[in-house]
């Protein structure tokens, strides 16, 4: 520094600050990558372990046989059919109710104390532990309404469990629809009903579908509430078929049938002292993981596909 | 200005499409409009001018009860719609019915995410028109009236979003025209458009007046001078001055109008 007048320029100080900020930023990004890598490694190790243990059991027989006391002959037929029908009931319960509630809260409810109370409660319900839903279902559906440990009870329970997820997703999707579309519809003389059905819901559909799938993916892995309501672990028959060759062709007897589900058999096999059942548990877990991943991937794909069509 | 001349015994004024009578409007407790008396002359364009926040858009949105969509609003006074002389703001008047007689074009083009054809046909379908032949004929007429037909006749099935901004705005005008409104409201219809598209919309506005009464809010004084026979100057929620556009621009009777037109505020 030959010229003392230039030693204290503000730009020099700024340069030092900028260097420091850059280093800080680089450090942060590095740390983030490291943590991400760690997470991925843990997940991959877990997954590889399960895959290694369960891979050999993933034969056609495994999907086509019922439970058995002999590990090598036990299959998941009742479990995956049970999961499928319970999910169907869950969807029938949660989708219409959840979407309708979301539409009501966004498009119809007048802002006020009651609406705020309902909104806060729905958000909180999404955070209630699933075992609490199980206890509620045990008291209400199984005991009070006498529905028993049936497919109907399981579907209602899981439907209630994911209802808040569907409501919140519906509301968020509806809020994304620009107000200008609503005003355009009202301005040509549409009623609120017409505006909601013909403009708001179609525009919000990608978000709503995503929310529904994420909710169902959550429900498919739930174990605690099903154990609480009394899902059986050992079952050697399928629920009655919903269709019959003679009139009235449709039957709803299956709703009252006992059931098991993938997370239940996984849990059961894991907790047995006989180590021969471990590969079975791992294989069932793989099937469940696969279903969940497929559902979540579908949600991501749908969101991406349908969002691209919209230009606002 | 809206004196007794030409007034029939039943209160019907044949030269008016609508008029406001002592119209006040409140958001909560705050008055956004105070005692506005504005005549809207039939088959003419009336421009609302004034600085931002003067209430001109608020006034416009009273005519089709757009404020009803949002909580915390209150109307006071009347808007009479002729020739049947009904009060648009009366509690027994259905706002949906009001909007099916009075159309609106917004600041930003807001076509539906549907095809060009479906955008124009939407209002017709709402009114129960189902026959394809009638729909097609009416859509074509509306698009012709909006000076858009030649540009879109080969792409009626394309998404409305594929059109340019100016075309989208003319599509919105066609959508409003298709249902044969008695009064068409324009809320700064060119403020989101480039000068060329603006010119084509202004030209369209001048030709539209042959079949529909126009009430237009504009920021652009030259636009008011070019398209409107009558102009109203508003300030702080009050109607300061109303008159034939030429008179108002050349010989304003109010000091505030003169100052605004001279660019001394606003």
Alpha carbons B174 and A184: distance in angstroms, whole number: 13
Contacts of B119 (CB under 8 A, 6+ apart): B111, B112, B160, B171, B172, B174, B175
> Does residue A111 share a domain with residue A35?
no
| Closest residue on chain B to A195 (Cα) | B126
| Closest residue on chain B to A184 (Cα) | B110
User: How distant is the Cα of B172 from the closest Cα of chain A, in angstroms?
Assistant: 9
Q: Which CATH architecture has domain B16-111+185-261?
A: 3-Layer(aba) Sandwich (3.40)
Does the CB of A110 have a partner CB in chain B at under 8 Å?
Answer: yes
> Does residue A96 share a domain with residue A43?
no
Identify the residue among B66, B111, B122, B179 best suited for mutation to test binding to A, counting A beta carbons within 10 A and taking the highest. B122
Assess if residue A234 is contained within a domain.
Answer: yes
Alpha carbons A113 and A115: distance in angstroms, whole number: 6
Report the CATH number at residue A196: 1.10.3720.10
Comparing CA positions, the residue from A213, A129, A128 lying closest to residue A170 is A213
Quick check: bond before A99 cis, omega within 30?
Answer: no
Residues of B whose CB is below 8 A from A113: none
Q: Do B179 and A110 touch (CB under 8 A)?
A: no
Structural domain containing residue A20: 13-54
Q: Tell me, what's the pLDDT at B6?
A: 43
In degrees, rounded to 5, the angle at the alpha carbon of residue B254 between the alpha carbons of residues B253 and B256 is 150
Comparing CA positions, the residue from B11, B6, B181 lying closest to residue B85 is B11
Q: What is the per-residue pLDDT across B64-76, written as a single tens digit (0 to 9) for each?
A: 999 999 888 999 9
> Does residue A137 share a domain with residue A36?
no
pLDDT greater at residue A190 or residue A254: A190
Cross-chain CB nearest to A186 (options B69, B71, B111) = B69
Q: What is the mean pLDDT of residues A165-189?
A: 94
Q: What is the mean pLDDT of residues A8-36?
A: 92
pLDDT > 70 in chain B, percent: 95
- Please state, as a whole number, how many other Cβ atoms lie within 10 Å of the Cβ of residue A68: 13
**Which alpha helices (DSSP H) does A55-129 contain, by range?**
60-64, 77-103, 113-125
The answer to whether the beta carbons of residues B228 and B217 sit under 8 Å apart is no
**Buried residues in A145-183 as b, exposed as e (16+ CB within 10 A):** eebbbbbbbbbbbbbbbbbbbbbbbbbbbbeebeeebbb
Which range has the worst mean pLDDT, A52-66, A79-93, A171-185, B33-47? Answer: A52-66
Q: Tell me, what's the pLDDT at B9?
A: 42
The answer to whether the beta carbons of residues A63 and A77 sit under 8 Å apart is yes
Inter-chain Cβ pairs, chain A and chain B, closer than 8 A: 63
pLDDT at B12 over 70: no
User: How distant is the Cα of B34 from the closest Cα of chain A, in angstroms?
Assistant: 25
User: How distant is the Cα of B158 from the closest Cα of chain A, in angstroms?
Assistant: 13
Q: Do B110 and A183 touch (CB under 8 A)?
A: yes
The gap between the terminal CA atoms of chain A, to the nearest Å, is: 57
pLDDT at B2 over 50: no
The answer to whether the beta carbons of residues B218 and B224 sit under 8 Å apart is yes
Q: What is the per-residue pLDDT across B167-183, written as a single tens digit (0 to 9) for each?
A: 999 999 999 999 999 99
DSSP 8-state class, residue B27:
E
> Does residue A79 share a domain with residue A225?
yes
Q: Do A187 and B104 touch (CB under 8 A)?
A: yes
Q: Tell me, what's the pLDDT at A5?
A: 54
Assess if residue A112 is contained within a domain.
Answer: yes
Kind of pairing, strands B230-235 and B45-49?
Answer: parallel
Q: Do B122 and A188 touch (CB under 8 A)?
A: yes
> Does residue A96 share a domain with residue A39?
no
> Does residue A162 share a domain with residue A47?
no
Alpha carbons A51 and A47: distance in angstroms, whole number: 6
Residues of A whose CB is below 8 A from B69: 182-183, 186
Assess if residue A137 is contained within a domain.
Answer: yes
> Does residue A251 share a domain with residue A171?
yes
Identify the residue among A182, A185, A188 best suited for mutation to test binding to B, counting B beta carbons within 10 A and taking the highest. A188
pLDDT at B5 over 70: no
The gap between the terminal CA atoms of chain B, to the nearest Å, is: 26
Domain count, chain A: 2
pLDDT greater at residue A26 or residue A223: A26
Identify the residue among B71, B88, B120, B126 best suited for mutation to test binding to A, counting A beta carbons within 10 A and taking the highest. B126
Give the CA dihedral A94, A309, B176, B225, nearest 10 degrees. 130
Q: Distances from the Cα of A125 to the Cαs of A97, A128, A155, B8, B138, in angstroms?
A: 15, 5, 18, 65, 51
> Does residue A266 share a domain with residue A154?
yes
User: How distant is the Cα of A247 from the closest Cα of chain B, in angstroms?
Assistant: 39
Residues of B whose CB is below 8 A from A194: 126
The answer to whether the beta carbons of residues A87 and A159 sit under 8 Å apart is no
DSSP 8-state class, residue B88:
T
Q: Tell me, what's the pLDDT at B157?
A: 93
> Does residue A97 share a domain with residue A31?
no
Comparing CA positions, the residue from B98, B99, B107, B103 lying closest to residue B120 is B103
Confidence of residue A161 (pLDDT cuts 50, 70, 90): very high
Cross-chain CB nearest to A311 (options B97, B123, B161) = B161
Cross-chain CB nearest to B106 (options A180, A309, A311) = A180
Kind of pairing, strands B183-187 and B86-87?
Answer: unpaired
Assess if residue A109 is contained within a domain.
Answer: yes
Q: Which of residues 181-200 of A touch B (CB under 8 A)?
A: 181-191, 194, 198-199
Cross-chain CB nearest to A188 (options B71, B161, B175) = B175
- H/E segment holding residue B99: helix B95-101
Confidence of residue A309 (pLDDT cuts 50, 70, 90): low
| C-alpha B178 chain-centroid distance | 15
Alpha carbons A286 and A275: distance in angstroms, whole number: 18
Report chain A's mean pLDDT, rounded to a whole number: 87
Assess if residue A45 is contained within a domain.
Answer: yes
Report chain B's mean pLDDT, rounded to a whole number: 91
Determine phi and psi for B16, rounding to 5 degrees: -110, 145
> Does residue A137 share a domain with residue A82?
yes
Q: What is the per-residue pLDDT across A295-304, written as a single tens digit (0 to 9) for each?
A: 889 888 888 8
- H/E segment holding residue A57: none
Assess if residue A123 is contained within a domain.
Answer: yes
- Please state, as a whole number, how many other Cβ atoms lie within 10 Å of the Cβ of residue A281: 22
Assess if residue A203 is contained within a domain.
Answer: yes
pLDDT at A208 over 50: yes
Q: Tell me, what's the pLDDT at A2?
A: 52
Which residues is B232 bridged to in the sheet?
B48, B242
**Helical packing angle, A77-103 and A201-220, nearest 10°:** 140
Comparing CA positions, the residue from A239, A240, A222, A282 lying closest to residue A74 is A282
Alpha carbons B47 and B230: distance in angstroms, whole number: 6
- The burial of A117, by beta-carbon neighbours within 10 Å (0-12 exposed, 13-18 middle, 19 or more buried), is given as exposed
Q: What is the per-residue pLDDT across B233-249, written as a single tens digit (0 to 9) for each?
A: 999 999 999 999 999 99
pLDDT > 70 in chain A, percent: 95
User: How distant is the Cα of A307 from the closest Cα of chain B, in angstroms?
Assistant: 12
Q: Tell me, what's the pLDDT at A310?
A: 57
Q: What is the mean pLDDT of residues A86-102?
A: 94
pLDDT greater at residue A308 or residue B128: B128
Assess if residue A312 is contained within a domain.
Answer: no
Determine phi and psi for B184, rounding to 5 degrees: -120, 125
Confidence of residue B141 (pLDDT cuts 50, 70, 90): very high
DSSP conformation letters of B158-218 = SBGGGS-HHHHHHHHHHHHHTT--SEEEEESTTTTS-HHHHHHHHHHHHHHTTTSEEEEE-
Confidence of residue A178 (pLDDT cuts 50, 70, 90): very high
| Closest residue on chain B to A204 (Cα) | B113
Q: Tell me, what's the pLDDT at A40?
A: 96
- The burial of B235, by beta-carbon neighbours within 10 Å (0-12 exposed, 13-18 middle, 19 or more buried), is given as buried
> Does residue A118 share a domain with residue A42?
no
Residues of A whose CB is below 8 A from B64: 187
Residues of A whose CB is below 8 A from B106: 180, 183-184, 187
Residues of B whose CB is below 8 A from A176: none
């Amino acid at each position: 520094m030959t010229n003392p007048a230039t030693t204290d320029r503000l730009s020099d100080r700024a340069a030092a600050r900028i260097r420091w900020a850059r280093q800080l930023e680089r450090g942060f990004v590095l740390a983030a990558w490291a943590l991400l890598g760690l997470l991925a490694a843990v997940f991959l190790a877990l997954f590889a372990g399960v895959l290694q243990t369960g891979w050999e059991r993933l034969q056609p027989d495994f999907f086509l046989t019922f439970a058995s006391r002999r590990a090598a002959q036990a299959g998941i037929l009742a479990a995956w059919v049970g999961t499928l029908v319970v999910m169907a009931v869950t969807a029938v319960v949660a989708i219409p109710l959840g979407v309708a509630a979301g539409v009501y809260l966004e498009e119809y409810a007048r802002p006020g104390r009651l609406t705020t109370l309902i909104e806060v409660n729905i958000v909180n319900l999404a955070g209630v532990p699933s075992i609490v839903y199980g206890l509620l279902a045990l008291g209400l559906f199984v005991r009070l309404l006498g529905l028993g440990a049936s497919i109907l009870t399981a579907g209602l329970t899981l439907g209630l469990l994911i209802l808040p997820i569907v409501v919140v997703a519906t509301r968020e999707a509806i809020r994304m629809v620009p107000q200008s579309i609503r005003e355009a519809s009202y301005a040509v003389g549409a009623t609120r009903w017409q505006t909601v059905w013909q403009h708001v819901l179609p525009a919000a559909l990608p978000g709503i579908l995503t929310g529904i799938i994420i909710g169902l993916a959550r429900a498919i892995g739930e174990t605690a509430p099903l154990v609480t309501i009394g899902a059986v672990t050992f079952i050697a028959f399928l629920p009655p078929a919903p269709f019959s060759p003679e009139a009235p062709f449709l039957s709803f007897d299956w709703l009252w049938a006992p059931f098991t589900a993938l997370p239940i058999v996984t849990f059961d096999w894991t907790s047995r002292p006989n180590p021969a059942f471990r590969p079975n548990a791992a294989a069932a877990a793989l099937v469940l993981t696969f279903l969940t991943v497929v559902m979540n991937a579908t949600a991501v794909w749908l969101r991406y596909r349908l969002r691209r069509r919209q230009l606002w | 200005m809206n004196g007794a001349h030409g007034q029939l015994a039943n209160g019907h004024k044949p030269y008016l499409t609508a008029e406001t009578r002592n119209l006040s409007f409140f958001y909560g407790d705050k008055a956004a409009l105070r005692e506005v008396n504005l005549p809207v002359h039939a088959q003419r364009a009336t421009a609302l001018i004034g600085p931002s926040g003067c209430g001109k858009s608020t006034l416009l949105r009273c005519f089709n009860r757009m404020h009803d969509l949002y909580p915390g609003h209150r109307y006071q006074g009347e808007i009479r719609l002729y020739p049947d002389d009904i009060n648009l703001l009366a509690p027994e008047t259905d706002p949906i019915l009001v909007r099916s007689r009075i159309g609106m074009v917004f600041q930003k083009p807001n076509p539906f995410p549907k095809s060009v054809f479906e955008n124009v046909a939407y209002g017709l379908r709402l009114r129960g028109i189902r026959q394809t032949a009638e729909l097609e004929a009416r859509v074509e007429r509306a698009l012709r009236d909006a000076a858009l037909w030649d540009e879109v006749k080969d792409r009626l099935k394309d998404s409305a979003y594929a059109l340019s901004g100016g075309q989208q705005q003319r599509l919105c005008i066609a959508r409003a025209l298709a249902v044969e409104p008695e009064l068409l409201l324009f809320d700064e219809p060119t403020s989101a458009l480039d000068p060329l598209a603006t010119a084509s919309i202004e030209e369209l506005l001048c030709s539209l007046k042959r079949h529909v009464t126009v009430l237009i809010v504009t920021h652009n004084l030259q636009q008011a001078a070019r398209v409107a026979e009558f102009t109203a100057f508003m300030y702080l929620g009050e109607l300061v001055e109303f008159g034939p556009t030429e008179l108002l621009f050349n010989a304003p009777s109010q000091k505030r109008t003169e100052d605004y037109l001279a660019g001394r505020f606003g």
